[in-house]
A and B are shown apart, each in its own frame.
Chain A
Amino acid sequence: MRIGIVCPYSFDVPGGVQNHVMDLAEALISLGHEVSVLAPADEDSPLPAYVVSAGRAVPLPYNGSVARIAFGPVSTARVRRWLTNGDFDVLHVHEPLTLSLSLLAVLSARGPVVATFHTAMTRSRVLAAAQGVLQIVLERITARIAVSALARKVQVEHMDGGAVEIPNGVAVAKFADAEPLPGWPGECVPGTGGTLGFLGRFTEARKGFPVLRDAFVALAATRPGLRLLVAGPGDPDDLYDQFPTDLHERVTFLGLVTEPDKARMLRSVHLYVAPNTGGESFGMILTEALAAGTTVVASDLDAFRRVLDGGRAGRLFPTGDPVGLRDALAELLDDPAGRTALTACGDQVVANFDWPVVARRVLEVYAAAIEATDGRVIDQEWVGLG
């Protein structure tokens, strides 16, 4: 099958949607399909062979953070040319309601269009002003995919339509085979040692870093050798200022890490902690930690409970409670058998999120969209492994 995928955000900056698009494209290619990805990117940035650049993206504050997008007459012309040259069986756009290439592609395309909604935002502020415009965009979409139950709920309640829930995939092998960073995770025996990991914006309130900090500071006082490995964007001073001076040598900050380094970082800790206090619609990082074979300790959010199979694949603690987190950490660091039991269950859970499995479900949605557009019912074989 010839598949055209549009990514609204620039590949020059790492991000959840960009990673999703690349992993999906690679999984579809490995299943024998022809895939072309259209995305904004600087002219000279190295891109995988299947990516077509739609030109430079401009930074634009959007939905609480800065998104780099491409929009305007030049981008429109490029989208049109790409659609004509591609001659795709199906067009798959991501986040079509942002002002972006995805929106342009939806408006320019004829034929089957599949759209994936990633965020659980209710709707873009720009489009909220124009319900009619929103309707015109949605009408062009044949089938909708939501990556989480929350994103799906928004679809049903606010956009007057259903969506098929297909979770984010995770490239299990990339994480499982990653080499830990040299010197990590170190020893972890009852009473001493052990390494905790945190990945994300530690300055952002909903990521809940202060909960982990409080738990770490309390536990470090009674547990010699306990270390904390932090990765993510931010200023080192802002991080270290949060800790008493005598603990600084036990906190290591990696800064913003690349995808391969993220996998290595997850393999370098005994316990991965997700202390988020809300706003997570899926919990991608948890599936990645599970794929890396690392034990996960996460706050008891709906999305996390779902991924962790109600607590069988990872320990849940009361959201926002540093004492609860400290107790959970202390218990698991002293209990290697308990950690092994959790990761064994984690392996089973994460198999459902492996990209080839997820990509096959996406292919079925493509088939449904194609059928609804030309009335021809497609054989399973044709959609299958090709």
Chain B
Amino acid sequence: MPHMWWVVAASVVVGLVAAYLIWTAGRVERLQGRAELAARALDAHLLRRAAAAAVLAERRFGVELYAASRIALDASPDEREAAENDLTRQLRSVRLDPGDPDCGAVIAASRRLALSRQVHTDLVRDARSARSRPLVRLLRMGRGREWPRYFDIDDPTLAVPADVPAN
């Protein structure tokens, strides 16, 4: 009965294709979810840095830094990248003393922000590359979610400290 083998072969192929599709859908979902979590963490670190800068500005350096941090805190999504870059520029233009607790908080927050941005960029890249595969687009996997967006800002790291201060 040679046609039996055709049936067996066809079901094996269908089974493999189905397994691959399920696995791919899971992969897209996982990468997409990870990029979203990384975006939340990045958002929190941006807020932390701006808040630390505002606290510092109230005590030292004055109006311009304070304004930059307020604008960064209140920026709408479209303007946020530019506002954060402005804040980075403001922070670079003043002399931060690592020994001062408020300055130290800003330096530490900037360093953590830099890490968070690095991780976010990598995870967004993974998610975008998974979603832009032809098969994924054709079957419209992950369509319930927004395309992950890069957050394109300059490296926020301030002066490289010799030691990581123990807070």
Contact = CB atoms under 8 A, between A and B. Distances in A.
Contacts of A365: 115
B120 A364 contact: no
B80 interface: no
B98 to A, nearest CB: 14
Given A351-B162, A371-B38, A374-B37, 12 more contacts: A139-B27, A161-B125, A164-B115, A364-B111, A365-B115, A368-B112, A368-B116, A368-B118, A372-B34, A372-B120, A376-B41, A384-B167
Interface in A349-386: 351-352, 357, 360-361, 364-365, 367-369, 371-377, 380-381, 384-385
A143 B167 contact: no
A372 B116 contact: yes
B121 A380 contact: no
| Central interface residue in A138, A139, A144, by most chain B CB within 10 Å | A139
Contacts of B131: none
A360 B166 contact: yes
Contact of B122 (A144, A352, A377, A381): A144
A153 to B, nearest CB: 15
A372 B30 CA distance: 12
A-B residue pairs, 6 tightest by C-beta: A371-B41, A372-B38, A368-B115, A375-B37, A377-B44, A360-B164
Contacts, number: 81
A306 to B, nearest CB: 13
A351 B164 CA distance: 12
Contacts of B167: 380-381, 384
A361 B41 contact: no
A143 B37 CA distance: 14
A238 B100 CA distance: 59
Interface of B: 27, 31, 34, 36-38, 40-41, 44-45, 48, 108, 111-112, 115-116, 118-123, 125-126, 129-130, 162-164, 166-167
A160 interface: yes
A162 interface: yes
Contacts of B40: 375
Contacts of A144: 122
Interface in A159-179: 160-164
Nearest to B36: A375
Contact of A384 (B48, B118, B163, B166): B166
B41 A372 contact: yes
Determine chain A's interface SS by DSSP, over half rule. Answer: helix
A102 interface: no
8 contacts: A139-B126, A161-B122, A162-B121, A357-B163, A360-B166, A371-B37, A375-B40, A384-B167
A142 interface: yes
Given A144-B122, A162-B122, A372-B37, A364 B166 contact: no
Contact of A371 (B27, B116, B121, B162): B116
Contacts of A351: 162-163
Nearest to A354: B163
A173 to B, nearest CB: 16
B145 to A, nearest CB: 15
A367 B112 contact: yes
A369 B118 CA distance: 10
B44 A142 contact: no
A164 to B, nearest CB: 6
A377 B123 contact: no
A375 B41 contact: yes
Given A364-B112, A372-B41, A375-B41, A143 B118 contact: yes
A366 to B, nearest CB: 10
Given A357-B164, A375-B40, A377-B44, A368 B126 contact: no
B143 to A, nearest CB: 20
Contacts of A367: 112, 115
Contacts of B164: 357, 360-361, 364
Contacts of A160: 125
Contacts of A364: 111-112, 115, 164
Interface in A116-168: 135, 138-139, 142-144, 160-164
Nearest to A368: B115
A373 B125 CA distance: 15
A368 B119 contact: yes
B49 to A, nearest CB: 12
Nearest to A366: B115
Nearest to A379: B167
A365 B117 CA distance: 11
A175 to B, nearest CB: 19
A62 B84 CA distance: 46
A377 B45 contact: yes
Nearest to A373: B37
Contact of A377 (B27, B41, B119, B126): B41
Nearest to A351: B162
A360 B40 CA distance: 24
